[in-house]
Amino acid sequence: MSTALIKLDNIEKIFYTEEVETHALSNISLTIDKGEYVSISGPSGCGKSTLLSLLGLLDTNTSGKYNLANHDVSDISKSERARIRNMEIGFIFQSFNLISDLNVEENVDLPLSYRKDLSKNQRQALVQDALAKVDMSHRSKHFPSQLSGGQQQRVAVARAIAGNPSIILADEPTGNLDSKNAQAVMDLLDKLHSEGATICMVTHDPRSAEKAHRNITILDGQVISDQLNTIHDQQSLVG
Amino acid sequence: MIIQDFNYALRLLAKKPGFTALTTLVMAAGIGLSVYMFSFFNTIIYKDLPFQDGDSLVLVSSSQNGKRESNGINLLDYAEVRSSVSGLSEFGAYQNASVNVSGRDGARRYKAIYTEANIFAITRTKATVGGGFSPTDNLIGAEPVTVIGYNMWQNQFGGEPNVIGQSLPINGSSHRIIGVMPQGYLFPNNTQLWLPLKVDYGQITRESAQIAHGIAHIHDSSTLAQVNQQLQVVMQRLELKHPDTNNGISAYIDSIPGSREGEAYSVIYSMHIVAVLILLLASINVGNLLLSRAVERGKETAIRVALGAPRSRLISQMLWESIIICSFGGLIGLLVLAWGLTITQSIVATFFVDPPSFWWTFGVDAYTMKLFFTILISTILVTGLLPAWKNSGGDFNSVLRDGTRGALGKKAGRLNRILVISEIFISVTVLIAAGVMVVAAYMQSNEDIGADIQNTLIAKILLSDDNYVSGEKKVQFAQTLQTSLAKGVGIEDVMISSALPGDWSRRTKFLLAGKEYTKDNNTSYPRANYIAIMPGALGTLGVELKQGRYFDSSDSGLEKKTALVSENFTKLHYPNESPIGKQLRLSDDDPADWITIVGVVENTIQGSREDKHIPTIFRPFTQDPRQQLTVAMHMSADVAKVTDTLRQTLMSIDPQLPSFQIETYEQNNARFTAPIQFVSSLVALFALAALVLAASGIYGVMANTISQRTQEIGIKRALGASEKTITREFMITGFTQFLIGGIPGLLAGCTMGFAMSQIFGTSNLAVFIIAFIMTFLIGAVVMLATYLPTRAALSMEPSEALHYE
Ligand SMILES: Nc1ncnc2c1ncn2[C@@H]1O[C@H](COP(=O)(O)OP(=O)(O)OP(=O)(O)O)[C@@H](O)[C@H]1O
Ligand SMILES: [Mg+2]
């Protein structure tokens, strides 16, 4: 049984720059249930990244209502938002965004280090666990600059999942990778999903979108299509 | 090719006029301030004398228990030195003196020296008219002759050549003029008259021998240290042979300008260090500004390298920027510096009654120019090589494909830390040293000298003429002057003293009755200021009575022996009993001449404010008359009126007697602290410059570092770091850098502070408090410089920070 994890009501996002208003998102209403694997696609500049930022509490919506796990998060404090990002959300970026001064282990430990409920040993265990899942344990002492792009992204995935977040948000996670490495990362997301993770992934690669079970398409800041992926029809929205 | 790089650098600078103006001004401030400081001290301390071989001229002086005293050497000791020290030649000796010269328009006072005949040969200067002395002039009983200075020749004799052979009344006795020295010759110290020093070596004993300044040329092959070593050996031999007189006495040589810095070494060294640090601070700032531009252009540079530009071209371009900025800034600095030195000349003139030492001409001289170019080249290297080092060693490939974030690059990050830490170190050091200096100046100027100085006019009179030789005559003069002046227009009270509180006075060694002093150790006698003052004057001056009584008419009489002492005298010598009725005598007086203490007055400071701990003994002028006297008058009319009254009164008593140095008591007092106030304002200016440079520099580097880490901040926030976590992380980094730079800075600053406090008498506690405040100040600057850019970076939404370039 699925429950609504994310519920957007008439979300609008306007950027004000030098007297120009950019309506990045308008009238978005959307529900994403726990355990769903959603792809978001659309032409460049349509608002995909903006939507993902709002979902991940990296930015605030101009108007509308955002319920995350039955809590209204449109109007909560900055520190509360930080806490939710830390505990509930894992990010994967197109450009990996590892911290170059930290080694692989420390990068993965970074979100855990912001939590107060974990002991050093617990954190250590979670880090090793996550690295094992992405098959990067053997590189735990390396620095990002010593890794290939695919390896860096696998470490980024490990960092996103280390704290067992309820949602994984990925913005074109394979955009900077060759097809072989891209395939490896997609397989990883697949595996995570099969283990119960909720995933929202921005992509404009149709082959990546195919992996998702629900495809949302955006045009000019509005959802123009939202359909279940027929290839995976054995797992429906109300599965 | 070089021209091309120069043009390119020029174009880059022109494109950012704000940046160019800022860096140029910083460089101008750094170069101008530090060269000024060096030039200033060079002029007053190290500048060679303005005649041939002036640089090899040294002064021979004595030291007591290792403490260098600049008041000359016993002539018999000096005779020994002459015969046994190698490495020196052309020995001479002279004594400073003030003499009264009567001319057609009344009497005047001149600076003179009594000297051995060879003084003009030693200084490689011949008389313009007539000649110099011959050795026979130095014999006892020889005809009194004199050589006069150019100014006196012009003013008193109209520059006429027939001055030779004319007679000049000096201190009441006639001297034949045998020569005129050329214009500008004022050796040794603004001297206008040269007289033969008359010594009968057959007659004098070690006890009675005069003290004189020894002077000689040091050989090129010898160093000051080598000769000083020999001097010690000679003097030790004398010490063994004559323990009564020579115990603890040694001798040393020093270059003549150098002999003036005396005890103030640590202050002067500190000031030089401060000057170097300011320059370093300015260079670091400019270097960093150029560096951050180089970083901005990092990608462009990487692309150029990838396209095959040779590294030397890139470095040449960056060096050109430094050369242009430093040269232009240096030029501005030099102009301001030249102006500053001109002003200094007039300011320094106010520190002294007489014109300052004649070689003290402040200005852009050869030394200053040499220093300027040396400094210019070093600043170009420091500021130019910093960015060049960063960029040329860089792995351009990694710059191009850098995919990771927080992409400051390890090397640039380390360099930024080093810059911040050095700026912290330097500014803490400079601020502490400057703080101690400023506080010392403030405390000295507000020191209680013991007397009230408002609304008082003072003048000095020197009773050097032959008709004032006897004590009775001197007392009679003082009494007549006092009663006549008291009746004069515009004068309320008259106070006559050998030296007023605050002013230099005679110092003496004395013995207390009933105390044991080691016979063979003449250094064990205590010292005190020794002042003769007319009865009634202490009370009128406002020097409060603490015990016993003031002097009164019962104290008058040359055969009577009474004294007043200061409170610190009592504290030092009679801590647990009353000094009233106790007796003392001067160490060089008749052993039977015991003087009885009849009262205690408040402390006075005589001369240098650093000597405030030296106690004072007052004697009635009517018992112990002196040659030199100062008359102070409370005024009920304006200065001009009172001056007029004084002149007329003096004229009516003795037309041959000049008064000199007429000024208000306040002016006289201010002169004692004017030099330290000047140096301290100079230092305050340096401190301000250091603070501004350091604050802007630290802020610049911090803001740069943090802004370059904006993306990293975005990532961390995406991963759930709260603003507090990130702020704390940056603040801890800032604080760590503050500690790494601040603690050594604190130590260095305290070292200089303590060294200076030794001289100024500032308490250790004051140094600690200053050090603490200054360190705290820089700490606050660092924390603010960290906090503000962090806040700015955090004010962005995380999504925005993630995409920040
Ligand atoms: N911080 C910002 N300030 C102003 N406008 C912005 C900002 N961020 C995004 N925009 C604008 O909002 C619109 C949506 O941008 P967004 O980044 O969401 O597009 P996207 O769909 O992710 O495109 P792409 O596929 O190229 O990544 C664009 O027109 C963009 O210019
Ligand atoms: Mg996007």
Residue range B710-732, pLDDT digits in tens: 889 999 999 999 999 999 999 99
∠ CA B657-B661-B664, nearest 5°, is 125
The pLDDT score that the predictor gives to residue B548 is 93
Query: How many angstroms separate the alpha carbon of residue A94 from the centre of ligand 2?
Result: 9
> Which protein residue's CA is at the shortest distance from atom 27 of ligand 1?
A44
First to last CA, chain A: 7
Give the best residue of B399, B400, B719 to mutate against chain A (max A CB count within 10 A). B719
A159 interaction partners in chain B (CB closer than 8 Å)? 719
> Which protein residue's CA is at the shortest distance from atom 28 of ligand 1?
A45
More confident residue, A96 or B352: A96
Q: Report whether residue A10 contacts ligand 1, using a CB cutoff of 6 Å.
A: no
The pLDDT score that the predictor gives to residue B785 is 93
Give the closest of A50, A87, A110 to B716, CB-based. A110
Length of chain B, in residues:
805
Question: Contact at 8 Å (CB) between B457 and B778?
Answer: no
Give the closest of A82, A87, A100 to B721, CB-based. A82
A98 interaction partners in chain B (CB closer than 8 Å)? 404-405
Length of chain A, in residues:
239
B409 interaction partners in chain A (CB closer than 8 Å)? 100
Give the closest of B712, B716, B722 to A79, CB-based. B722
More confident residue, B296 or A234: B296
Looking at chain A, the whole-number percentage of residues with pLDDT higher than 70 is 96
- Phi-psi group of B677: left, alpha or beta (phi > 0 → left; psi -120 to 50 → alpha; rest → beta): alpha
Averages of pLDDT over each 10 residues, chain B, 805 residues: 80 84 89 89 71 82 77 87 89 88 74 91 88 90 92 85 90 90 83 90 80 90 89 90 83 72 67 88 85 72 68 76 90 91 79 64 82 89 74 51 46 80 93 90 86 92 82 92 91 94 88 74 76 94 94 90 94 92 84 89 89 91 91 92 90 83 88 81 88 89 86 91 93 95 95 86 89 95 94 90 80
Contacts of B162 (CB under 8 A, 6+ apart): none
More confident residue, A235 or B20: B20
Retrieve residue B142's tokens: 């020889």
Question: How many angstroms separate the Cα of B297 from the Cα of each of B194, B291, B709?
Answer: 71, 10, 17
The closest of B633, B597, B594 to B617, measured between CA atoms, is: B597
Q: Report whether residue A22 contacts ligand 1, using a CB cutoff of 6 Å.
A: yes
Give the best residue of A50, A109, A114 to mutate against chain B (max B CB count within 10 A). A114
> Which protein residue's CA is at the shortest distance from atom 25 of ligand 1?
A44
Question: Contact at 8 Å (CB) between B74 and B206?
Answer: yes
Give the closest of B405, B410, B725 to A114, CB-based. B725
Retrieve residue B389's tokens: 């080092």
Q: Report whether residue A48 contacts ligand 1, using a CB cutoff of 6 Å.
A: yes
The closest of B766, B770, B738, B739 to B431, measured between CA atoms, is: B770
Q: Which atom of ligand 1 is nearest to the CA of A202?
A: 22
Query: How many angstroms separate the alpha carbon of residue A155 from the centre of ligand 2?
Result: 21
Closest-CA distance, B29 to chain A, in angstroms, reads 37
Question: Contact at 8 Å (CB) between B714 and B802?
Answer: yes
Rg, chain A, Cα only:
18
Query: How many angstroms separate the alpha carbon of residue A202 from the centre of ligand 2?
Result: 8
Q: Which atom of ligand 1 is nearest to the CA of A17?
A: 4
Q: Report whether residue A176 contacts ligand 1, using a CB cutoff of 6 Å.
A: no
> Which protein residue's CA is at the shortest distance from atom 19 of ligand 1?
A45
Q: Which atom of ligand 1 is nearest to the CA of B797?
A: 1
CB-based contact A58 B403, cutoff 8 Å: no
The pLDDT score that the predictor gives to residue B352 is 65
CB-based contact A99 B404, cutoff 8 Å: yes
User: CA-nearest residue of chain A to B408?
Assistant: A100
* Chain centre distance of CA A130: 16
The closest of B383, B378, B395 to B318, measured between CA atoms, is: B383
> Which of helix, strand or coil describes residue B622?
coil
Question: Contact at 8 Å (CB) between B112 and B143?
Answer: no
CB-based contact B722 A145, cutoff 8 Å: no
Question: How many angstroms separate the Cα of A150 from the Cα of each of A131, A177, A184, B576, B721?
Answer: 14, 6, 8, 90, 26
Question: Contact at 8 Å (CB) between B799 and A89?
Answer: no
CB-based contact B404 A100, cutoff 8 Å: yes
Q: Report whether residue A20 contacts ligand 1, using a CB cutoff of 6 Å.
A: no
Q: Report whether residue A218 contacts ligand 1, using a CB cutoff of 6 Å.
A: no
For B309, list phi and psi in degrees, rounded to 5: -70, 130
The pLDDT score that the predictor gives to residue B108 is 78
Give the span between the Cα atoms of B644 and B111, in whole angstroms: 25
The pLDDT score that the predictor gives to residue B92 is 92
Give all strands of the β-sheet with A214-219 in edge-to-edge order.
Answer: A89-92, A167-171, A198-202, A37-41, A214-219, A222-228
Query: Could you tell me where the beta strands, DSSP code E, fall in B649-735?
Result: 659-664
Amino acid found at B649: T
Burial B554-580 (b: 16+ CB within 10 A, else e): ebbeeeebbbbbbbbbbeebbeeeebb
Q: Which atom of ligand 1 is nearest to the CA of B799?
A: 1
∠ CA B679-B683-B686, nearest 5°, is 145
Retrieve residue A13's tokens: 């996002």
Give the span between the Cα atoms of A117 and A123, in whole angstroms: 10
A107 at B interface, C-beta within 8 A: no
Closest-CA distance, B718 to chain A, in angstroms, reads 6
CB-based contact A58 B797, cutoff 8 Å: yes
Q: Is the peptide bond before B188 cis (omega within 30 degrees of 0)?
A: yes
Pairing of strands A20-33, A4-17: antiparallel
Q: What global pTM score does this model have? A: 0.76
The closest of B579, B588, B804 to B714, measured between CA atoms, is: B804
Give the span between the Cα atoms of B464 and B722, in whole angstroms: 86
Positive/negative CA dihedral, B238, B244, B245, B246: positive
Give the span between the Cα atoms of B496 and B479, in whole angstroms: 9
Give the best residue of B399, B404, B405 to mutate against chain A (max A CB count within 10 A). B404
H or E element at residue A91: strand A89-92
